[in-house]
Amino acid sequence: MDIKIKTDLKQVQRKMGILSDKTFKKVISEGINFTGEKVVNAQRQMLVKKLHKPKPFTVKSIVMSQFSKPRKGRLKATVRVKDISAAYLYYIYTGKTEPARKRSYASPTDEGFTKSNQHGNIVTKAGLLRGLSKTEKSNRANSRFIGVPKGKGSKVYGVWERKGKKGREGLNLLVAFTPFIKHRKFIDWFKLSEKVVKNNLYKEVNKQMIRRVRRVMK
């Protein structure tokens, strides 16, 4: 996302003629970077507010990946979501429907959702999704498979555990999966970022301007 603030920098610089061209660009650059930090903090705070117990890793995935430099063509900063988190946060920001079964992570429904950690993830230390059988047939007690059981039983797609001796006394649904996840747009990335920039950019530039002028006037 690009947020462009149109300003005649040359005119502003002439009015503040006490500063050299190099110093003036430093002032603008520093103001942009401080504003970028505020955008990062605002986005992180919104994740904590809107999501249920998000992992620190997820919150810290909002970063400023490019800092403004006091050079022509470099007076800009970039705030983004790290690629490793963008795959799942994408739907938080867009509200689009996700084809859950095609993802590398499971998407549980409320039915059979009994195995979860403090963050609501079903990939627990017990290894719920680890060591799954590749087929519905097995002679191991408590063995698990992912899919839909054969026969006239349940047609629920999920993680099932075989019960009884040699796993032949029925199945126990551990977690049910949904084929699609209908997301709701929790955060408007663009609206929030633009609001923070408009409320803080000129303030931050002004702070740096005053600091530099005071230094020159000493």
Dist. CA 43–CA 133, nearest whole Å: 41
Question: Given CA atoms 25, 13, 40, 4 in this order, what sign does their dihedral have?
Answer: negative
Q: What pTM, to 2 d.p., does this model score?
A: 0.63
Q: Which residues are CB-contacts of 113 (< 8 A; sequence separation ≥ 6)?
A: 122, 175, 176
Q: Which residues are CB-contacts of 67 (< 8 A; sequence separation ≥ 6)?
A: 33, 36, 77
Say what percent of the chain tops pLDDT 90: 26
Q: Which residues are CB-contacts of 34 (< 8 A; sequence separation ≥ 6)?
A: 200, 204, 207, 208
Which of 2-6, 45-49, 157-161 has the highest mean predicted lDDT (pLDDT)? 45-49
AA letter at 186:
F
Report pLDDT for 124: 45
Report pLDDT for 70: 85
Check if the beta carbon of residue 50 is closer than 8 Å to that of residue 95.
no
Cα angle 159, 163, 166; round to 5: 115
Instruction: Report the chain's mean pLDDT, rounded to a whole number.
Output: 77
